[in-house]
Amino acid sequence: MTLDQALLFTLLAIILGMLLWGRFRYDLVAAGGLLIAVVFGLVPENLAFSGFANPAVIIVALVLVASRALENSGALGALTQWAARNERGTGAHIAVTGGLGAALSAFINNVAALALLMPFDVPVSNT
């Protein structure tokens, strides 16, 4: 293993550790990791932001913005109440959520369907 590879793996391990720790915002951790990689010459300067040209990055960003907007507007409230009724067991909840995901995926991008359904199953912290 070359020195550059060892430095890159070390940097990735540090970034992963910081993301798991959760003390810092994930966007700042990612931007800081990219900055450190450029400073150490692990990523060429002219290619540092080339990943943003990939359409998948733009789609994921737009889907997450749209998902948050739908969540904040309350448009998903009725669907969430129906899908997450307490009298359903875990298996039924998984089936309902999977069915909704399949139905959404028939018409929209799979990542978009995931982003729309994430608020159903991600617990909200009060901190």
Going by C-beta distance under 8 Å and a sequence separation of 6 or more, which residues neighbour residue 14? 33
Task: Return the structure tokens found at 53.
Answer: 């040209």
Residues 8 and 27 in one domain: yes
Q: What is the mean pLDDT of residues 72-78?
A: 72
Residues 46 and 85 in one domain: no
Banded model confidence at residue 123, pLDDT cuts 50, 70, 90: low
Please give the pLDDT value at position 113: 78
Residues 58 and 117 in one domain: yes
Residues 108 and 72 in one domain: yes
Per the CB < 8 A criterion, the answer to whether 117 and 84 are in contact is: no
- Over the stretch 15-53, which tens digit does the pLDDT of each residue have? 999 999 989 998 899 999 999 999 999 999 999 999 888
Residues 65 and 12 in one domain: no
Residues 22 and 76 in one domain: no
Q: What is the mean pLDDT of residues 4-17?
A: 95
Counted domains in the chain: 2
Question: Whole-prediction pTM value?
Answer: 0.56
- Identify the domain containing residue 80 by its residue range: 54-121
Please give the pLDDT value at position 58: 83
| 23-37, 61-75, 113-127, range with greatest mean pLDDT | 23-37
Residue 13 — φ and ψ, nearest 5°?
-65, -40
Residues 61 and 116 in one domain: yes
Residue 87 lies in a domain: yes
**Lowest mean pLDDT segment, chosen from 41-55, 62-76, 92-106:** 62-76
Q: Which contacts of 76-83 are long-range, i.e. CB under 8 A and separated by 24 or more positions?
A: 76/116, 76/119, 80/119, 80/120, 83/120
